[in-house]
Amino acid sequence: MKDRLIITISDIHGSKQYTVHEMIKQAVWWVVMGILLIAFATYIYISMIHKKLSDLDEKLITVQQKSLELEKINGELITKNTALEQGIRERSEKLASIDSKLKEVEEIIGIGPDINASIEERLEDTKNVQEEKLAEVEKNKEQMLEEAKVTAIQAAFLSKSIPSGKFLNYRRISSKFGYRIHPVTNKQSFHAGLDLSAPMGTPIYAPADGTVEYADVKGAYGNFLLISHSYGFKTAYGHLSKYAVKRGDFVSKGDVIAYVGSTGRSTGPHLHYEIRYLNQWLDPKNFMMWDTEDVNVMKERVAKVNWNQILRQIQKTIDLVH
């Protein structure tokens, strides 16, 4: 009986007994234990899988964060690279502009650029020459002022021979003499004259006696007029609508010579007016506001003109007439 297992089942009908062998009992026990072990192992495995999935989720989040950081850094690098390229372009343009300005200054003061010299060396040479010229002007200033006494007859000659006074009924000066940002090209360039805003067709009068040297279309000037005056002076007029004179004509101060227009590279009706002295540009504003009886003012404002020689030449002419 010790190798058998008796199982008794009771109900309303009575009790029944079943005998189970001990080996079956052990088999059932091992099956139950196996199921429990499998369940436990499955639990452990699932826990490990869950932990690995959690670790993978954390790593995925970390990778995503680092990816976002890399994208941000990449964007910053692209922005910095763009800014660097822009800075290089701007510096190159500024260097080219400085070189262009330097060439103009070198031409004005009469020294030729040395192609083997750096910009710094050329700037230093230009500065030295300018200082020498300024020192020379200061040295002769007192003597020049003493010789600046102008008689009424000399003033009359100056007024007729050298461009002076108001010669156009303009509204305003829309662009001054000197370096500026060009309204069409939007780049910095040297503006060799004044832009005088006036209605289309406004008459332009000769600012001094002279001879018409050029009256035709000329590039960005459009319809262009150039008049040669005495003592090395010339006046230039751009963007004209039409001419009142032609090449070779002699004009007297006050004669109508042309009319305001907007030809060539222009943004609207205006006159581009230049004054040149021995192939150097001068600021026309000084001459437009000049009272020819006061040469001292012009000697201080326009040192490039040899006023003493002009006055001596005028006096020789006066002496011949008398």
Distance CA 67, CA 64 (A): 5
> In this structure, which long-range contacts are made by residues 261-265, counting pairs with CB atoms below 8 Å and at least 24 apart in sequence?
261/200, 261/201, 261/222, 261/223, 262/200, 262/222, 263/217, 263/222, 263/223, 263/239, 264/217, 264/218, 264/219, 264/220, 264/221, 264/222, 264/223, 264/224, 264/238, 264/239, 265/184, 265/220, 265/222
pLDDT at res. 149: 55
Instruction: Note whether residue 122 is domain-resident.
Output: no
Which residue, 33, 48, 65, sits at the end of a domain? 65
Q: Where in the sequence is the domain holding 53, given as residue range(s)? A: 4-65
223-245 tens-digit pLDDT: 999 999 999 999 999 999 999 99
Instruction: Note whether residue 121 is domain-resident.
Output: no
Give the 3-state secondary structure of residue 288. Answer: helix
Mean per-residue pLDDT of the chain: 81
Contact assessment for residue 298 and residue 311, using Cβ atoms and an 8 Å cutoff = no
> Does the pTM exceed 0.75?
no
How many domains, in total, are found in the chain?
2
Mean pLDDT of 18-26: 64
Between residues 263 and 131, which one has the greater pLDDT? 263
Between residues 46 and 97, which one has the greater pLDDT? 46
Q: Of 122, 130, 89, whose CA–CA distance to 103 is shortest?
A: 122
Instruction: Note whether residue 73 is domain-resident.
Output: no
**Residue 148, Ramachandran bin (φ over 0: left; ψ between -120 and 50: alpha; else beta):** alpha
Is there a single domain that holds both residue 287 and residue 167?
A: yes
CATH number of the domain where residue 231 is located? 2.70.70.10
Between residues 77 and 22, which one has the greater pLDDT? 77
Name the token pair of 105: 């200054």
Instruction: Note whether residue 123 is domain-resident.
Output: no
Instruction: Note whether residue 129 is domain-resident.
Output: no
Instruction: Note whether residue 318 is domain-resident.
Output: no
State the DSSP code for 278: T
Instruction: Note whether residue 314 is domain-resident.
Output: no
Environment class of residue 210 by beta-carbon count within 10 Å: exposed (0-12), middle (13-18) or buried (19+)?
A: buried
Mean pLDDT of 14-35: 72
Helices 119-139 and 22-109: angle between axes, nearest 10 degrees: 30
155-211 tens-digit pLDDT: 888 899 999 999 999 999 999 998 877 766 677 778 889 999 999 999 999 999 999
